């Protein structure tokens, strides 16, 4: 499986990994977005936050967090099941999952400006207060920097709009298909439209 995965591809991968029917899985995601909670073949899905054009969904398997990430309402209300389409397109199977356990995780110390298609695991050290800015297209947007770290170092990550509320201090995050750029001479992780940001919440009391 490619390291560059869209939300539909990643959810298709999860449906294969946890042996969940793609149609039931998609209906459960839609149900959770409407009713806050749903279940599907051992997976529990919770809508953690609703926004104008997206929802943040938490998927758990028993006491284990599987994933937490934002999904657009456009994705959830597509007439055709995008997860099933991804299953058919990519030919997911158990043997494929066993052969491909996921992306190659980079270390922060090895990140260089100009790198693309970067996959990274890190812990959120802090999230700055968001600022309202005017984009080059004349739109208003919220932007904030998060400081993330692994055992090799720390780096800032630029967050926009709903991305800001999807992570908190102490969370463990997985980023796929990011880029490394420079802002005022400082390295930054940039999340693109086709990047994937998954969050595992820090448990209360840990």
Phi, psi of 201 (to 5 degrees): -65, 140
Q: What is the mean pLDDT of residues 10-23?
A: 85
Q: Is the pLDDT of residue 67 over 60?
A: yes
Residue that finishes a domain, picked among 49, 77, 99: 99
Q: What is the pLDDT of residue 127?
A: 93
What is the Cα–Cα distance from 73 to 33, expressed in whole angstroms?
A: 9
Assigned domain for 205 exists: no
Assigned domain for 116 exists: yes
Q: Is the pLDDT of residue 153 over 90?
A: yes
Residue that finishes a domain, picked among 99, 122, 143: 99
**196 falls in which pLDDT band (50, 70, 90)?**
confident
Q: What is the mean pLDDT of residues 14-39?
A: 88
Query: Do the bridges between strand 37-40 and strand 43-50 make them parallel or antiparallel, or are there none, so unpaired?
Result: antiparallel
Number of domains in the chain: 2
Q: What is the pLDDT of residues 98-138, one digit of tens each?
A: 444 456 788 999 999 998 888 899 999 999 998 988 877 78
Residues 121, 196, single domain; the answer is: yes
Q: What is the pLDDT of residue 95?
A: 43
Give rounded-to-5 percent helix, strand, coil for the chain: 25, 40, 35
**181 falls in which pLDDT band (50, 70, 90)?**
very high
Q: Is the pLDDT of residue 148 over 80?
A: yes
Q: What is the pLDDT of residue 96?
A: 46
Q: What is the pLDDT of residue 69?
A: 85
Assigned domain for 1 exists: no
Residues 116, 82, single domain; the answer is: no
Structural domain span for residue 112: 108-200
Average model confidence (pLDDT) for the chain?
Answer: 83
């Amino acid at each position: 499986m490619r390291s560059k995965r869209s939300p539909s591809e990643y959810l298709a991968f999860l449906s294969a990994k946890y042996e969940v029917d793609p149609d039931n899985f998609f209906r459960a995601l839609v149900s959770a977005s409407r009713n806050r909670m749903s279940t599907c073949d051992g997976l529990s899905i919770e809508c953690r936050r609703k926004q104008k054009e997206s929802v943040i969904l938490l998927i758990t398997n028993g006491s284990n967090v599987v994933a937490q990430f934002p999904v657009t309402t456009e994705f959830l209300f597509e007439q055709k099941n995008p997860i099933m389409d991804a299953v058919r397109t990519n030919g997911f199977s158990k043997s494929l999952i066993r052969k491909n356990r996921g992306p190659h995780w980079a270390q922060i110390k090895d990140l260089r400006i100009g790198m693309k298609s970067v996959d990274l695991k890190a812990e959120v050290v802090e999230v700055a207060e968001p600022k309202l800015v005017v984009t080059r297209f004349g739109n208003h947007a919220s932007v904030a920097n998060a400081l993330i770290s692994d055992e090799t170092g720390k780096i800032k990550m630029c967050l926009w709009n709903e991305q800001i509320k999807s992570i908190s201090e102490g969370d463990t995050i997985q980023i796929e298909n990011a880029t490394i750029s420079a802002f005022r001479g400082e390295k930054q992780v940039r999340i693109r439209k086709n990047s994937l940001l998954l969050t595992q919440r820090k448990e209360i009391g840990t």
